[in-house]
């Protein structure tokens, strides 16, 4: 069997590799690296069966390659990342004092490009570039998640239109804060509403109730993501309360680029292809899913998750927690439907919880 490719994704790893004495480098994948910064060292080597994805190369390096594949940037607004986005990278160029500056920041430029080329582009160059970008994000996402116990990966699903002033928003914030402090990695679709509440809770983990109330007061100036200062106030919280080391993962998409990605997620895996992103959140949240009040998208995710658990797609079932008894039994009566299907044997292996209590939700996630 041929050796698997070794991946080099940062400058320090590249420098260390190039300084080694072996002349030939074989089956290495280089991602988004600047070889020109190490021109003399890089030209000492012969490269065999290597991959160069979005790399800057000095003159002459290609002549020293054998059976290598070179995939350069394709002249689009975006490249092929070698790490997940940080809020600072995604919003590079955004000035909270001038909300209109979003149009000029990285995220805004990519979204305009996305719309210009078509949400469902047909140009092969554009579709290839988007696919390579999303592949890079998925690769980086797996690297990031490998640091965690998969039973500690918890997803939160819920409506993007949830107001920051709604009690359901506060409930998600408190639950997420509690779970982050208990060692769970909180994951959401990375947008506004219940998604932002997830990351606000994780961002404020380790802080006092007074600090949380201050953060909520800042956000209350712009309750809905359609408000002009929604993003600016999120950045104000980001800057006023530096993260204390609790990480969270947002997985947004440019398909819904009109919904801003929250800068309160410490790591952001932003995709072009929403189908990859949507299924991915359910797939990686192996510690369980918390369903908060939402609309059509949230309902779809309930049944997608039920299918994965029914078939034990990943070898075991993970908890499905429905927060909000009244919502899930009366307003949108999904709970009685699922319970009826379980009783009839249409669904098996489901671990279900209907609750309004954060403590009960945590106990179920911890298997107690």
Annotated domain spans of the chain: 6-71, 149-365
- pLDDT per residue, tens digit, the chain (368 aa), is 567 999 999 999 999 999 987 899 999 999 999 999 999 999 999 999 999 999 999 999 999 999 999 998 887 889 999 999 999 999 999 999 999 999 999 999 999 999 999 999 999 999 999 999 999 999 999 999 999 999 999 999 999 999 999 999 999 999 999 999 999 999 999 999 999 999 999 999 999 999 999 999 999 999 999 999 999 999 999 999 999 999 999 999 999 999 999 999 999 999 999 988 888 899 999 999 999 999 998 999 999 999 999 999 999 999 999 999 999 999 999 999 999 999 999 999 999 999 999 999 999 999 97
- Give the tens place of pLDDT for each residue, 234-269: 999 999 999 999 999 999 999 999 999 999 999 999
- How big is the chain, counted in residues? 368
Give me the residue label for tokens 């929403």: 274
Task: Report which of 180, 162, 344, 150 is spatially closest to residue 246, judged by C-alpha positions.
Answer: 180
Q: What is the pLDDT of residue 43?
A: 96
Decide: 168 and 194 in contact? Cβ < 8 Å.
yes
**Residue 130: closest CA among 113, 147, 142, 146:** 113
The tokens of 22 are what?
């072996």
C-alpha 290/C-alpha 301 separation (Å) is 11
User: Per DSSP, which regions of the chain are E strands?
Assistant: 6-8, 24-26, 28-31, 46-48, 51-53, 65-66, 69-71, 153-157, 185-188, 248-250, 267-268, 288-291, 319-323, 351-355
- E strands, 204-350, where? 248-250, 267-268, 288-291, 319-323
Question: Which residues, in sequence order, are CB contacts of 87 under 8 Å at separation 6+?
Answer: 238, 263, 264, 265, 266, 268
Give the span between the Cα atoms of 308 and 317, in whole angstroms. Answer: 8
Residue 76 pLDDT: 81
Question: In a 10 Å sphere around its CB, with 0-12 CB exposed, 13-18 middle and 19+ buried, how is residue 31 labelled?
Answer: buried
DSSP state string for 3-48 = PPPEEE-SHHHHHHHHTSS-SEEESEEEES-BGGGGHHHHTT-EEE
pLDDT at residue 176 in the model: 98
Distance CA 323, CA 355 (A): 5
The predicted pLDDT at position 56 comes to 95
3.30.1370.100, 3.40.50.2300, 3.40.50.450, 4.10.490.10: CATH of 149-365: 3.40.50.450
| Cβ count near 183 (within 10 Å) | 11
Residue 48 tokens read as 């065999």
CA angle 155, 313, 128 (to 5 degrees): 75
Name the residue among 271, 281, 287, 280 with its Cα closest to residue 319.
Answer: 287
118 contacts 251 by C-beta, under 8 angstroms: no
- Evaluate whether 319 touches 353 at the Cβ level (below 8 Å): yes
Q: How far apart are the first and last CA of the chain?
A: 44
Q: Which two tokens stand for residue 84?
A: 């997940």
Q: What is the rounded CA–CA span in Å between residue 320 and residue 353?
A: 6
Distance in angstroms (rounded) separating the CA atoms of residues 14 and 32? 11
| Short-list 185, 161, 163, 195, CA closest to 249 | 185
User: What does the alpha-carbon distance between residue 163 and residue 140 come to, in Å, rounded to a whole number?
Assistant: 32
- Give this prediction's pTM: 0.95
Task: Give the number of C-alpha atoms closer than 13 A to the C-alpha of residue 185, restricted to the C-beta side.
Answer: 22
| Measured distance CA(66)–CA(176) in Å, rounded | 51
Spatial distance between the Cα atoms of 28 and 53, rounded to a whole number of angstroms: 11
Name the token pair of 74. 């394709």
pLDDT of 1 reads 52
CA 20 to chain centre: 35
């Amino acid at each position: 069997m041929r050796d698997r490719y070794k991946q080099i994704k940062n400058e320090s790893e590249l420098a260390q590799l190039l300084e080694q004495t072996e002349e030939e480098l074989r089956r290495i994948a280089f991602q988004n690296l600047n070889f020109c910064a190490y021109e003399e060292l890089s030209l000492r080597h012969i490269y065999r069966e290597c991959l160069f994805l979005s790399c800057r190369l000095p003159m002459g390096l290609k002549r020293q390659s054998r059976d290598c594949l070179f995939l350069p940037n394709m002249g689009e607004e975006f490249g092929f990342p070698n790490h997940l986005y940080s809020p600072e990278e995604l919003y590079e160029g955004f000035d909270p004092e001038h909300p209109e500056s979003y149009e000029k920041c990285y995220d805004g430029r990519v979204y305009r490009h996305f719309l210009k080329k078509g949400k469902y582009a047909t140009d092969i160059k554009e579709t290839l570039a988007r696919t390579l970008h999303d592949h890079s994000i998925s690769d980086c996402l797996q690297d990031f998640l490998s640091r965690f116990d998969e039973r500690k990966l918890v997803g939160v699903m819920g409506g993007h239109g949830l107001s920051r002033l709604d009690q359901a928003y506060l409930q998600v914030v408190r639950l997420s804060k509690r779970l982050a402090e208990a060692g769970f990695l909180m994951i959401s679709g990375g947008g506004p509403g219940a998604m932002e509440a997830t990351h606000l809770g994780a961002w404020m983990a380790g802080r006092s109730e007074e600090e949380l109330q201050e953060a909520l007061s800042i956000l209350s100036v712009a309750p809905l993501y359609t408000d002009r200062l929604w993003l600016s106030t999120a950045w104000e919280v980001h800057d006023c309360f530096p993260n204390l080391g609790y990480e969270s993962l947002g997985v947004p998409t440019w398909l819904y680029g009109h919904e801003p990605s929250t800068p309160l997620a410490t790591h952001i895996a932003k995709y072009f292809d929403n189908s990859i992103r949507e299924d991915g959140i359910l797939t990686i949240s192996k510690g369980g899913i918390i369903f908060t009040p939402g609309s059509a998208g949230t309902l779809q995710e309930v049944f997608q998750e039920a299918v994965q658990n029914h078939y034990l797609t990943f070898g075991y079932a993970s908890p499905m927690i429905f927060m909000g008894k009244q919502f899930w039994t009366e307003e949108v009566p999904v709970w009685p439907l699922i319970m009826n299907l379980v009783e009839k044997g249409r669904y098996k292996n489901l671990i279900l919880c209907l609750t309004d209590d954060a403590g009960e939700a945590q106990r179920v996630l911890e298997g107690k």
